[in-house]
């Protein structure tokens, strides 16, 4: 055989080998794709592990023949179903999960135990039973839908990377994150929310943990948001809204590097309202605040026609701000950051509840350092004790006929016709009562002296 014929024969054989290898790859790939499309039902015994092929079947209540996903267990492209066909606890000890469903009638639990991060690539749906997230990290690339059962985040970190409507949607059930961290990283699609509660109860992380979201939240009754003394941190870059009708939050912080934040409906906080690096736009509703109002860094507040109602006891305002209506009608101390200016274009209300313990003290955050107020319209002031204040408005603050004390270093305030009063808790009984008692005792002494009977002695 000539060299040219030998070369041609070798080339043909090589081509046949390559073609066979390519066909084998296609067949193998096709087999993998078919296996990945499996729907797998949990049939394991109590507290059995996820990663055992015999704990899964392609039919509910099946015998666990190991025919799920090509003889293994559900992977990142499969659908894992827990239903009433087998009510036994499962241990989730793998790092990747596809779609997972806990159907109505499954009353057992699934507990995550993987030492690192367990990632869900598909939708997580829970209508019954208990899901325990463990102590590590559970990460979701699709939605979390709760209509029943209990999802206990325990001490884990719950991360959602989903972008679209309702990364977390609750229409029932309980989501308990009281001792966990929650981080929603995605972006809500137009006219939707990243976290949506229509029904059920969500318990937020407490003060030792964090709840961070990059986009909007909607809480609609009868859905319940339990603030749990924690802080909601908004850190996204898009228009962010908070809808919380009939909900009391604790602390809220807007630390968005860009974008605008808004709230719809009146909202109530028993903690602090803080804006650190974004623009918060008020509307026509009130923010009822039990803690401090704080702007810092590049954070700013645009009031529109909103009302900030500070209804706690001892509270403070930090940063230079403009308000429409600014109100505090409680006893206690109202501090204003030293060196900063508060402008009120609508009504400024500062009223204590009475003399002595009912007084409202208007003070600087730094003793003997001035704070500035610019009340441009209506001033409603009574039972106040003022110190270190500069009124920068052209119109003097006149307190004629009002209970008001000048405690020093006040500029452009007029206390000439005010009524001085004892501010602070009384150390002795109320003055009028005390004087009445003294007058009564003195009077009794005089009566006894005037009408003392004369006793004559008779000598024998």
Residue 179 pLDDT more than 70?
yes
451 lies in some domain: no
Give the mean model confidence (pLDDT) for residues 248-264: 91
Percentage of residues in the chain having pLDDT higher than 90: 74
Residue 53 has pLDDT above 70, yes or no: yes
Three-state secondary structure string covering 147-185: CCCEEECCCCEEEECCCCCCCEEEEEEEEECCCCEEEEC
Average pLDDT over residues 292-320: 97
> Is the residue at 1 inside a domain?
no
Per-residue pLDDT at 103 exceeds 50: yes
Over residues 139-163, the pLDDT tens digits come to 999 999 999 999 999 999 999 999 9
pLDDT of residue 5 exceeding 50: no
**Stretch 71-88: mean pLDDT, rounded?**
94
**pLDDT attached to residue 189:** 87
Q: What is the pLDDT of residue 176?
A: 98
Average of pLDDT values for 121-142?
98
Identify the band that residue 429 occupies on the pLDDT scale cut at 50, 70 and 90. Answer: very low
Do the domain assignments include residue 452? no
Which residue, 195, 268, 189, 167, is CA-closest to 227? 268
Which of 40-44, 116-120, 434-438 shows the highest mean pLDDT?
A: 116-120
Q: Which residue has the higher pLDDT, 351 or 247?
A: 351
| Number of other residues whose CB lies within 10 A of the CB of residue 309 | 18
More confident residue, 272 or 61: 272
Whether residue 7 is contained in a domain is answered as no
* First-residue to last-residue Cα distance in the chain: 179
116/135 Cα distance (integer angstroms)? 9
Least confident segment among 207-211, 328-332, 449-453? 449-453
* pLDDT for res 290: 98
Structure confidence at residue 30 as a pLDDT band (50, 70, 90): very low
Q: What is the pLDDT of residue 70?
A: 81
pLDDT of 355 reads 96
The per-residue pLDDT for 443 is 58
Which value, to the nearest 10 degrees, does the dihedral of the CA atoms of residues 348, 350, 353, 359 take? -170
Take residue 334 and report the two structure tokens written for it. Answer: 């109202």
* Residue 36: inside a domain: yes
Number of domains in the chain: 1
Task: Please indicate whether residue 31 or residue 319 has the higher confidence score (pLDDT).
Answer: 319
* For residues 42-70, average pLDDT: 87
Range of the domain at 357: 30-435
Report the mean per-residue pLDDT for the chain.
87
Q: What's the pLDDT at 458?
A: 40
Q: Give the tens place of pLDDT for each residue, 404-425.
A: 999 999 999 999 999 999 998 7
Reported residue count of the chain is 460
CA pair distance 276, 257, nearest whole angstrom:
9
Residue 20 pLDDT > 90: no
How many Cβ atoms are within 10 Å of 242's Cβ, its own excluded? 23
In a domain, 172, yes or no: yes
Residues with Cβ < 8 Å from 291, sequence gap 6 or more? 251, 269, 270, 271, 272, 273, 312, 315
pLDDT at 431: 45
**pLDDT confidence tier of residue 132, bands split at 50, 70 and 90:** very high
Q: What is the DSSP letter of 135?
A: T
Asked which of 11-25, 131-145, 170-184 is least confident by mean pLDDT, the reply is: 11-25
Which residue carries 């690539």 as its tokens? Answer: 121
3-7, 89-93, 301-305: which has the minimum mean pLDDT?
Answer: 3-7
Q: Is the pLDDT of residue 2 over 80?
A: no
Per-residue model confidence as pLDDT tens digits over 353-384: 999 999 999 999 999 999 999 999 999 999 99
Res 241 pLDDT > 70: yes
Q: What is the pLDDT of residue 11?
A: 46
Examine the pLDDT at 346 and tell me if it is beyond 60.
Answer: yes
């Amino acid at each position: 055989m000539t060299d040219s014929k030998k070369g041609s024969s070798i080339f043909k054989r090589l081509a046949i080998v390559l073609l066979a290898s390519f066909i084998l790859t296609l067949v193998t790939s096709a087999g993998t794709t078919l296996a990945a499309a499996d729907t797998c039902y949990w049939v394991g015994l109590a507290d059995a592990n996820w990663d055992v092929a015999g704990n899964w079947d392609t039919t509910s209540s099946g015998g666990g023949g190991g025919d799920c996903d090509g003889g293994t267990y559900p992977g990142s492209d499969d659908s894992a179903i827990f239903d009433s066909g087998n009510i036994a606890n499962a241990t989730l000890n793998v790092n990747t999960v596809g779609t997972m469903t806990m159907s109505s009638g499954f009353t057992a639990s699934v507990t995550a135990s993987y030492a690192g991060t367990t990632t869900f690539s598909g939708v997580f749906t829970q209508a019954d039973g208990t899901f325990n997230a463990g102590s590590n990290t559970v990460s979701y690339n699709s939605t979390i839908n709760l209509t029943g059962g209990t999802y206990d985040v325990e001490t884990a970190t719950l991360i959602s990377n989903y972008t679209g409507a309702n990364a977390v949607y609750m229409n029932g059930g309980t989501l308990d994150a009281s001792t966990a961290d929650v981080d929603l990283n995605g972006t809500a699609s137009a006219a939707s929310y990243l976290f949506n509660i229509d029904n059920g109860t969500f318990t937020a992380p407490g003060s030792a943990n964090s709840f961070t979201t990059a986009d909007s939240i909607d809480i609609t009754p009868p859905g319940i948001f339990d603030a749990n003394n924690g802080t909601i941190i908004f850190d996204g870059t898009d228009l962010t809204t908070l809808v919380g009708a009939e909900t009391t939050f604790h602390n809220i912080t807007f630390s968005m590097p860009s974008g605008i934040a808004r709230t719809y409906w009146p909202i109530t906080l028993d903690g602090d309202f803080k804006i650190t690096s974004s623009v918060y736009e008020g509307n026509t509703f009130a923010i009822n605040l039990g803690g401090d109002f704080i702007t810092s860094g590049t954070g700013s507040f645009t009031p529109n026609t909103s009302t900030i109602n500070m209804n706690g006891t001892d509270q403070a305002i930090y940063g230079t701000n403009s308000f429409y209506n600014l109100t505090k009608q409680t006893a206690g101390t109202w501090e204003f950051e030293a060196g900063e200016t508060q402008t009120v274009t609508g009504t400024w209300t500062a009223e204590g509840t009475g003399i002595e313990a009912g007084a409202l003290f208007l003070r600087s955050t730094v003793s003997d350092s001035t704070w500035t107020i610019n009340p441009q319209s209506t001033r409603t002031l009574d039972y106040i004790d003022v110190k270190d204040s500069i009124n920068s408005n052209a119109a003097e603050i006149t307190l004629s006929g009002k209970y008001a004390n000048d405690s020093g270093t006040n500029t452009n305030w007029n206390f000439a016709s005010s009524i001085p009063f004892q501010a602070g808790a009384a150390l002795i009984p109320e003055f009028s009562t005390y004087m009445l008692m003294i007058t009564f005792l003195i009077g009794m002494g005089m009566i006894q002296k005037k009408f003392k009977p004369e006793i004559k002695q008779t000598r024998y």
